[in-house]
Amino acid sequence: MRVLTVVGARPQFIKAAVVSQALQGAGISEEIVHTGQHYDANMSAVFFEELDIPAPSHNLKVGSGSHATQTGAMMVGLESFMSSREGPDWVLVYGDTNSTIAAAIVASKMGLPVAHVEAGLRSFNLRMPEEVNRIVTDRLSTMLFCPTQTAVEHLAKEGMWNGVHMSGDVMLDATRTYSLRAADRNPLKSITSLDKDSFYLGTIHRAQNTDNPARLAAIIKAFSNLDAPIILPLHPRTRSKLDLSAIGSRVQIIEPVSYLSMLTLITSSIKVLTDSGGLQKEAIWLGKPCVTLRDETEWTETLSRGWNHTTGADTDAILSAVGTSPEGEAPRFGEAPAGSASSEIVRLLSG
């Protein structure tokens, strides 16, 4: 069996790492294409090196641009690449990025079966480009690997049952695998001079926040009024939108960090404040409460017992959520039916 994996953004590199290892362990041939959606070295090349992912056979080097420009360029590049190869048994896509939808559309039109890892997620907010990408990719996929039972139920409500599997969450596999390495390979002192449990960790990258000056200003205002410093690894897209001179001393901006460094920051922080989907889960799995800087979350399991709060970009709501404490143990979710999610996905693809 031969698998063509299409990735383009940081979260996909992490998910692909554990699945690629499972594919290799099963003796399955895999070719990886990088769209170039994330092209900054700290958000791309370092992940392949750090996570031992096989080097991509091809990089489309699409870079940034509007959704239409970026997705269109990816589709042209992917069609050319796929046309030059004998058709794979599966085109494997991850998550909800423009790389995901571009690969799903091209593969479908070429008659190639698509397998979608992280199928069935829904925020029910069609203003989010990611939500559109998820819905279209799910509709075009032959095999749908759901990280939770909630995702399976979302697909069932949309009339999709064939090829739907509750595989578990490959991000949980990655968190378990790489958190054991993080403290040794990327210790806190190599990232910041701050001590463990003396700072918050923040990330902002969603277009609904970065492209809306009022929302972005409200989030930065909340960060500037926290009761402890907040470390903010700054996405290049976000940096271009900020007036850095107006940011208070509580906010410590650093360059984007590798996955292992991010795991170190999560485990060393007081709490995580983010608009990322993956970081919400990683925080909870690693025992850290989360504040989600969005009006909704597709990871509703994280909201259990006050471990995660959705605040939108409301300054007062963010500060109020930061001041709360969760009740009871962190929620458990994303477990594979047996073994790991990555091995379950490989088993299903091989079936």
Quick: pLDDT tens for 1-14. 999 999 998 889 89
**Is residue 194 very low, low, confident or very high in pLDDT (cuts 50, 70, 90)?**
very high
User: Across all residues in the chain, what is the average pLDDT?
Assistant: 94
Instruction: Map out the domains of the chain as residue ranges.
Output: 2-169+335-350, 181-322
**Is residue 102 very low, low, confident or very high in pLDDT (cuts 50, 70, 90)?**
very high
pLDDT of residue 328: 95
pLDDT of residue 64: 80
- To the query of whether residue 34 is one of the catalytic residues in this protein, the response is no
User: What secondary structure, in 3-state letters, does the chain show?
Assistant: CEEEEEECCHHHHHHHHHHHHHHHHCCCEEEEEECCCCCCHHHCHHHHHHCCCCCCCEECCCCCCCHHHHHHHHHHHHHHHHHCCCCCCEEEEECCCHHHHHHHHHHHHCCCCEEEECCCCCCCCCCCHHHHHHHHHHHHCCEEEECCHHHHHHHHHCCCCCCEEECCCHHHHHHHHHHHHHHHHCCHHHCCCCCCCCCEEEECCCHHHHCCHHHHHHHHHHHHCCCCCEEEECCHHHHCCCCHHHCCCCEEEECCCCHHHHHHHHHHCCCEEECCHHHHHHHHHCCCCEEECCCCCCCHHHHHHHCEEECCCCHHHHHHHHCCCCCCCCCCCCCCCCCCHHHHHHHHHHC
Does domain 181-322 fall into CATH 3.90.650.10?
Answer: no
- Could you tell me the pTM of the whole model? 0.93
Which residue out of 34, 38, 116, 205 is catalytically annotated?
A: 205
> 2-169+335-350 architecture in CATH?
3-Layer(aba) Sandwich (3.40)
pLDDT of residue 84 exceeding 80, the answer is yes
